[in-house]
Amino acid sequence: MSTENHPSGAPWRNFYGRFKGKGLRPSQQTYLDEDLAKLSPGPVDWDVNPDREPLDLKSLFGDRDIWLEIGFGGGEHMVHQAVHNPGIGLIGCEPYINGVAMLLGKIRDSGAQNIAVHPGDVRDMFDVLPENSVSRAFLLYPDPWPKKRHHRRRFVTPGYLEPLSRVLKSGAIFRVATDIPDYVRQTLEEVPRHGFTWQAERPADWREPWNDWISTRYEQKALREGRRPHYLTFVKN
């Protein structure tokens, strides 16, 4: 991997997902224009925070516990958690702008007041989150990158897990949901290597969803296509 930097000072980080899909509806563009800046967690991107100063989470959410959703898709789960846990602050990262627009519409409809949104790569967020600041993290139906040569692009690799471990508090919960058996295998191999313990004593612990779970559109697609969801829970050591 090249060690050269972008003109902004950012390290070159390969990104393999989509930033934008089909055209946005006028209402979705309105959400982006009117709401996105107000929901910013602070200066995350390199062009506005070249010195990588940590975010001021206290000014953002006071003394609340901070939860992080990595790749929130259309935002169903994130808004569900925010509404049912008003005493926490929830930060979501998603580079796919269509998903961001969907989330903003759901935030408007729900009235949730405890969400911050970064429309970009979670690795940039990891740069500026203080160490030991996050109490819970979610990785729900991440891109499976099924071809073996692409497995290094998965989230459950050192380039993502090392900074995730750094920002999570001791005792923090890390939840992973996936319908891809090989992703389960890699998750169970890699996540414990980065300071986590898998919380499972019987098959129901990974076959049954969490008590506060809301099934997402990605999960519904997996079920329609005959794939079994797995619900993996880890605790940061």
Active site residues: 143
Question: Which two three-digit tokens encode residue 154?
Answer: 């998965």
Q: Position of tokens 């090249």? A: 2
Spatial CA neighbour of 216 closest among 117, 138, 133, 125: 138
- Contacts of residue 97, defined as CB under 8 A and 6 or more positions apart, other chains included, come to 19, 20, 24, 32, 119
As a whole number of angstroms, the distance between CA 160 and CA 167 comes to: 11
As a whole number of angstroms, the distance between CA 205 and CA 199 comes to: 8
Q: Position of tokens 């605790």? A: 235
Instruction: List phi, psi (to 5°) of 179.
Output: -110, 10
